[in-house]
Structure 1
Amino acid sequence: MDLSIIIVNYNTKELLKQTIQSVIDTTKNIDYEIIVSDNNSTDGSIEMVEEYFPQVNLIKNKDNLGFPKGNNVAIKKSIGRYVLLLNSDTVVIDNCLEKCIKYMNSHKNIGVLGCRVVLKDGQLDHACKRGFPTPESSLFYMLKLYKLFPDSKKFGQYTLSYLHEDEINEVDSLTGAFMMLRKETIDEVGLLDEEFFMYGEDIDWCYRIKEAGWKVMYYPEAKIIHYKGASSKKKRFKTLYEFHRAMILFYDKHYRLKYNIFVTILVYLGVCVKFILSLFVNIFKKRG
């Protein structure tokens, strides 16, 4: 089998239906399977898949396992030469999956490939091509210096704003909304890190893949639409907490031993302040 398409779902019934249908409608010339790993949805998602897509391999998890663990459960059951992580709030355009497989078939050193991901307003989802969040690149990002100097490699380290969105490029990291990997790459570097829950695991995986000598590629010739944040909007505090916890997890795992204690304290303080400010903004939005 060419491709195992893995979709983790949590209470996104209608979007999930749209995602699966877009895969079926646009993918004709490859042998693939769709595996939906449902994290104990209560909105009728399971019943919808059973009714409309009986050909889909449906995994009914007893709890909300989070994004990494939900994917890992499905990866272990997959049989494709390639594995695709695909969000349940996406729409696949044209023959996106066939294009990606064809490109990876002809470039054997690519461990993971990401496509052009656009938001519903047509703008690029910048998470689909980005650098690693080093302390320096994170500071420049928080100060929005990449907006003032979009062509600067120094200030655009995280967003990679200096790389044109129409050009194929090797990057540091992709978005977990669309990541196509070789099965042999997964076998070498291991599964997603389940210490993460719903953020950061994609960056961590790309970091490990690059460390193992594989290339991480952004391939804009293929395209999907991302209706971003469909699952995370339902539990705002949990979302904000996991987002900021992921920052600390990633830093501790990959950077803490590379920097002195002063930098580490500044990173921890920065994340804490950002988390508190985000909570206040969210509270005022609710009251508004």
Structure 2
Amino acid sequence: MSFPRVAILILNWNGWEDTLECLESVYQINYPEYNVVIVDNNSEDNSIKKIEDYCAGKIKVDSSFFNYQNKNPIKIFEYSSTELQSSKLPEMDIINSVKPNEKLILIKNHENYGFAKGNNIGISCALKNLDAEYVLLLNNDTVVDKDFLTELVDVAKNNDNVGFVGPKVYIYSDKNTLQVAGGAQVDLKHGEVDEIAYHQRDGGQFDHYLEPDYIGGTCILCSREVIEEVGMLDPGYFMYWEDADWCFRGRKQGYKSVYAFKSKIWHKYGASSDTPFKMYYFTRNRIYFVKKNSTRGEFFLFSMFILAVTLSKSLRQLIRHHDFKMSYAYLKGFFDGITLSVNSKVKL
């Protein structure tokens, strides 16, 4: 059996504890051909030092999902994002000579570029420097099953026109409850998503082939071929909806999104509190996504709908909660989403 080389990209921003648990679970997988790449979005919580200490064996990760394995020190190949803009890295022969679970590529960004651009820096490195045949985006607050990557690659290789593949995602704090089976369906008329299997107990009812509208960005596998044709994530989103956008752009090129039910991960997913920052981007990007994927007539009708929704939410925040910042975030998200120019060229 052949094993295509996979670059596993983990984006970190002020989350070193989650990142170390994720890393330890990844280093215990059965898949033999991979490189782990951490892209740090200019963290301010000493993340770089903690990651270095872990790689030196100074931090032992405690988890209910696995037993920590004493191993040889993990060799770190550290670069700034500006270094990676040059030609192919001269250390490639050295990197390739080190076992997958004994090396880490660490990319340091000079600012917080958000989910899309931060991952794009890692994707570009993987394709230009690591000879990756597949790229896997993996949230840092996840823990993976030992066979998760084998199952994802198997589905990608053995089905026609596959663009994006996602696993069965469980909730970390409730190990047999699903967050999502691969991804979600999209209602373009209202700019809403319906996550498949959301918060359902896993009784095997989703152990079958599915083609969601898109694969959730918690864990998404994509091939070099697809990225070179479709492009990378649209950095215009910064956060929220960029995963759906990526898959929809792939679908326009004839690529499917596919759920690999034998692949399993656990995600530290919970009901986090809403903030003006989150609501601004969610509102803006909801509109931006529909604009990119609908006709003018469809977008006009959606605009009337979302205007009413936004005004209702904004007034509720102002009148009931006296929260001017949240009220303003909804309105600004609406107007910025309406006026944001569509980026159709997100190439390497």
Structure 1 unaligned runs (5+)?
Answer: 142-157, 284-288
Deviation at 1:198, TM superposition (A): 1.2
Change (3 A) 1:276 1:63: farther
The superposition leaves residues 200-236 of structure 1 with CA deviations (integer Å, 9 ceiling, x where unpaired) of: 0000001111111011001111100010269x86x83
Aligned positions of 1:5-24 closer than 5 A? 5-24=8-27
Amino acid at match of 2:27: I
**1:250 correspondence with 2:289:** yes
Q: Which has the higher helix share?
A: 1
How many Å apart are 1:42 and its aligned residue?
Answer: 1.0
Residues 40, 116 of structure 1: alpha-carbon distance in 2 compared, 3 angstrom cutoff: same
Aligned to 2:345: none
Supply the AA of the counterpart residue of 1:245: R
2: CA distance, partners of 1:119 / 1:183: 30
Determine if the alignment matches structure 1 residue 60 to structure 2 residue 101: no
Tell which has more relative contact order, 1 or 2 (C-alpha 8 A, sep 6+). 1
> Secondary structure of 2:262's partner?
strand
**Number of equivalences:** 262
8 Å Cα contact 2:181/2:197 also seen in 1: no
Q: Determine the structure 2 residue equivalent to 1:173.
A: 214
In 2 relative to 1, CA 278–71 (structure 1 residues): closer, same or farther, beyond 3 Å? farther
2:73 is aligned with 1:71: no
Indicate which of 161, 174, 194 corresponds to 2:235. 194
Question: In the alignment, which residue of structure 1 is the partner of 2:182?
Answer: 128
Name 1:144's counterpart in structure 2: none
Q: Deviations over 1:76-130 (max 9, x none)?
A: 0003101000001000013111121122222242111000011122321137321
Q: Could you tell me which residue of structure 2 aligns to residue 273 of structure 1?
A: 312
SS of the residue corresponding to residue 102 of structure 1 reads helix
SS in 1 for 2:143: strand
Query: Please, what TM-score do these two structures have when normalized by structure 2?
Result: 0.69
| 1:146 aligned partner | none
User: How do 1:1-288 and structure 2 match up within 5 A?
Assistant: 2-26=5-29, 28-53=30-55, 54=76, 55-78=103-126, 79-120=131-172, 121-122=174-175, 123-126=177-180, 128-136=182-190, 138=192, 158-160=194-196, 164-228=205-269, 236-255=275-294, 257-259=296-298, 261-274=300-313
Distance, in Å, in 2 between the alignment partners of 1:176 and 1:92 is: 15
Contact 1:115 1:218 in 2 (8 A): yes
Q: 1:43 to 1:251 in 2, by over 3 A?
A: same
Taking only aligned residues, the RMSD between alpha carbons, in angstroms, comes to 2.7
C-alpha spacing 1:253/1:273, structure 2 compared with 1 (3 Å): farther
Normalized per residue, which structure has more strand?
A: 2
CA distance in 1, matches of 2:211, 2:34: 26
What letter is aligned with 2:18?
L
In 2, the alpha carbon distance for the partners of 1:88 and 1:282 equals: 35
CA contact (8 A) 2:31 2:149 kept: no
Measured in 1, the distance between the counterparts of 2:120 and 2:315 equals: 32
8 Å Cα contact 2:189/2:298 also seen in 1: no
Counterpart of 2:185, as a letter, is: G
Q: Which residue identity does 1:14 align to in structure 2?
A: E
Give the residue type in structure 2 aligned to 1:192.
Answer: L
User: 1:167, 1:220 within 8 Å by CA — same for their partners in 2?
Assistant: yes
Larger Rg over CA atoms:
2
C-alpha separation in 2, matches of 1:40 and 1:19:
19
Q: Which stretch shows the higher mean deviation, 260-269 or 84-93? A: 260-269
